[in-house]
């Protein structure tokens, strides 16, 4: 019997029910506590970016665009880091998990450097105060939410208790 799973892999001599269970387990892993945390961080960083951009309206249009670029940069690198770390379950030797986190952190630093270089090279109207304020506040808010949410999530749970 030959079946093809949703990823296009060929399953030989595997009952279809077992293949479906395997695919379900793989897709359920994106609903775990780590993914809930990533969604909470991304939502908070987006809201902080919008808040700083709204305050930047008081100054000028360049400040608004600068705030969006700064907060967007923080959001992009946080999502990249979260997806890279959560892509594989934290099972296995601690050295592999730590290596995965360190590789994601190094890539995050390289991406943030590239984003900063691109923003500074491609814009001559950049408002540095708005850019770095939005970046810093969005980045810090993500850390605060990560600490708050991670203390409320129980392993294996899909619910967050907020007090």
Same domain, 37 and 21: no
Same domain, 42 and 4: no
Segments forming the whole domain that contains residue 126: 32-150
Same domain, 10 and 90: no
CA–CA dist 65, 60 (Å, integer): 9
Domain count, the chain: 2
Which helix H or strand E contains 54, and what residues bound it?
helix 33-56
Token output for 90: 């934290």
- Reduced to 3 states (helix: H, G, I; strand: E, B; else coil), residue 26 is helix
Same domain, 6 and 67: no
Relative orientation angle of helices 128-150 and 33-56, to the nearest 10 degrees:
150
pLDDT reported for residue 41: 92
What residues contact residue 13 under an 8 Å CB cut-off, 6+ apart? 1
Q: What is the pLDDT of residues 62-99, one digit of tens each?
A: 999 999 999 999 999 999 999 988 877 667 788 888 88
Q: What is the pLDDT of residues 93-116, one digit of tens each?
A: 888 888 888 999 999 999 999 999
CA–CA dist 126, 161 (Å, integer): 41
Answer yes or no: is 107 within a domain: yes
């Amino acid at each position: 019997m030959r079946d093809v799973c949703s990823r296009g892999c060929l399953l030989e001599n595997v009952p279809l029910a077992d293949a479906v269970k395997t695919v379900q387990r793989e897709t359920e892993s994106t609903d775990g506590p780590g993914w809930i945390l990533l969604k909470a961080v991304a939502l908070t960083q987006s809201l902080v970016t919008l808040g700083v951009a709204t305050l930047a309206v008081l100054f000028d249009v360049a400040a608004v665009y600068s705030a969006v670029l700064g907060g967007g940069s923080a959001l992009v690198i946080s999502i990249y880091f979260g997806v890279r770390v959560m892509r594989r379950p934290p099972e296995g030797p601690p050295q592999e998990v730590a290596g995965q986190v360190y590789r994601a952190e190094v890539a995050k630093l390289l991406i943030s450097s590239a984003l900063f270089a691109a923003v500074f090279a491609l814009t001559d109207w950049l408002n540095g105060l708005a850019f770095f304020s939005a970046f810093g506040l969005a980045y810090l808010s993500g850390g605060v939410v990560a600490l708050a949410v991670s203390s409320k999530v129980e392993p294996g749970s899909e619910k967050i208790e907020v007090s």
